[in-house]
Structure 1
């Protein structure tokens, strides 16, 4: 079983503002070390109640568009019942309902089988917690 499953936890600093952080390179580096030439699945999981994983285009504005959409859909105001933390923090706790805290991605020949414009992105709108953990798990 140990040859078919590998996992790694990485720690990231996201800062005090909203961020869509591209972690594709970290995913690829993990696969290079544990799955050279192998086929399987990569699961990316963020064990936080206020962050998610998205597969989107980055660098051409889509990452900022995603954050703007989330601001429009779930504004940081006083409507939220969940009230600890900074004002509007309750919206951060509903984020994983819209941007799931995980993604499972195909791996072919040891590499992510993403579309040409796709990237793996950690979405974090919670400025109260600048440290994030991401678990990468390869099954193959």
Structure 2
């Protein structure tokens, strides 16, 4: 019988973005799950920024990601008359896009692997136009892999 003792593990990943983009971080997260010894449980993925966000999205056709970025630009255009503009015209729209898409995700884990669908990946969405270094926190709660 498998030992059902729960354990918690936490890791941080630094991700370099290239400006407005969606960057697949699934491999980096999977590698961290392996290092943690994760078995069965729940992974929380959290980005420590207010102008970048996370999503689970299509990982096969890059046109989907470009269309999503375009849709977010239409929802929060850079040329709207925002009050907050101290960090440039792309900053307030970035905050709005983060509110719409969110700073965290929960992903079930089984056998040490994220239970993503066939065409799903975990993405950092960079809402700013310049490259940035972004920090992601991973928190796993579950059992250890046999």
Q: What is the TM-score of this pair, normalised by structure 2?
A: 0.87
2:100 matched to which residue of 1?
Answer: 98
List 4+ stretches of structure 1 deviating above 4 A: none
Cα RMSD over matched residues? 1.5
2:49 matched to which residue of 1?
Answer: 48
Q: Deviations over 1:28-71 (max 9, x none)?
A: 101111135x1001111001011111000024021111111111
Confirm or deny: 8 A CA contact 1:50 1:125 kept in the other structure: yes
1:110 matched to which residue of 2?
Answer: 112
Q: 3-state SS of the aligned residue for 1:39?
A: strand
Give unmatched runs, 5+ long, in structure 1: none
Cα separation, 2, equivalents of 1:98 and 1:74: 10
Give unmatched runs, 5+ long, in structure 2: 1-5
Matched, 1:58 2:54: no
Confirm or deny: 8 A CA contact 1:31 1:111 kept in the other structure: yes
Confirm or deny: 8 A CA contact 2:56 2:121 kept in the other structure: yes
Confirm or deny: 8 A CA contact 2:51 2:91 kept in the other structure: no
Confirm or deny: 8 A CA contact 2:54 2:123 kept in the other structure: yes
Point out the structure with max Rg over C-alpha.
2
Q: What is the TM-score of this pair, normalised by structure 1?
A: 0.90
More strand by share: 2
Shift of 1:12: 1.4
